[in-house]
Amino acid sequence: MSGDAILVTGGAGYIGSHACKVLAQAGYVPVTFDNVSTGWEQAVKFGPFVRGDLLDRAALEGAFAEHRPVAVLHFGALSQVGESVASPGLYWRNNVVGSLNLVEAMTAAGCRNIVFSSTCATYGDQDGVVLTEDSRQMPLNAYAASKRAVEDILRDFENSKGLNAVVFRYFNVAGADPEAEIGEWHQPETHLIPVLIEAATGKRDALTIFGDDYSTPDGTCVRDYVHVMDLVAAHLQGLDWLLQRKGSRVFNLGTGQGFSVKEVISEFEAVTGRPVPFVYGPRRAGDAALLVSDCRRAKEELGWSADRSILKQMIEDAWRWYRTGGYRAE
């Protein structure tokens, strides 16, 4: 309903800020809840901002009491695979305990609808199988394991407290707001297309390709890329699903088409006209060889379409955003 508040954890981050923009355009009031540890206060442009940490139960309770959201979009999490391998406790504490605090606070406040940002990484490495929502979950790292654990928490609270959850398992998110008002800006940057930009513009010496001996056509990892604007459009549809009382459901969000690291480099060079220096490094712990989605359920049940998720378009939008200068530490 127009004017209803939606609590957006991680709303100062890459995906969360794009979600806030489309929520505001749809007539909702997006309330960002973020500790700005990896996000940017400059990205909070579309509704109220509550600076808070998911590990702070009192801050969460205050946000629910003040804004009375009808639903939660839960993006707030640490998300670097390599870091999760090195520091698993950090990921279990932040992602799992933080999410448990959130779910307990929202159910105590009478809020029963949540859209959760999960990941295709929960499937692990399944030898090139196209992954459906019913594929076995075999996480290879603490990041993926923490996301699967939150899915389990949501199921338990559905059974116990009547919680309704739409879980989206993302494939690789890329691109930026076409109007370049917000975009992807991490410090340090770990996602492929922004790293390509840094290598092509001299901000780093070279891109490191982690492994060239995978069982893929050119030896480099293959991933399914989805445009951030298509992704957040799905969140609006997931929100509608919940508000129409259709119950809990898991959906993959991807395109069904994979691109190798080297294919993305070639397309980037074609789009930007900039050569990308790269070197090969050893495989990165916790990386799967190939992750490609079967996203028919989201298309058939939500009516979702990944219209903007064309590799050329994602690179063009990311490149346009980069040239605005991005965010600056204050």
143 is catalytic: yes
- Which residue type is seen at 194? P
Three-point CA angle 137, 37, 106, nearest 5°: 60
127: left (phi over 0), alpha (psi -120 to 50) or beta: left
**CA distance linking residue 296 with residue 218, whole number of Å:** 28
- Among 123, 143, 170, 225, the active-site one is 143
> Angle, to 10 degrees, between the axis of helix 192-200 and the axis of helix 311-322?
60
> Which token pair is 159?
């059974």
Closest listed residue to residue 130, CA positions, set 257, 293, 306: 293
CB contact at 8 A, 46 and 18: no
Tell me the backbone φ, ψ of residue 174, rounded to 5 degrees.
-150, 175
Closest listed residue to residue 184, CA positions, set 38, 26, 35: 38
Name the burial class of residue 1, with classes exposed (0-12), middle (13-18) and buried (19+) by CB atoms within 10 angstroms of its CB: exposed
> Which token pair is 175?
């691109």
User: Residues with Cβ < 8 Å from 227, sequence gap 6 or more?
Assistant: 173, 174, 175, 306, 308, 309, 310, 313, 314, 317
Tell me 241's DSSP state: H
Give catalytic residues, as residue numbers: 143
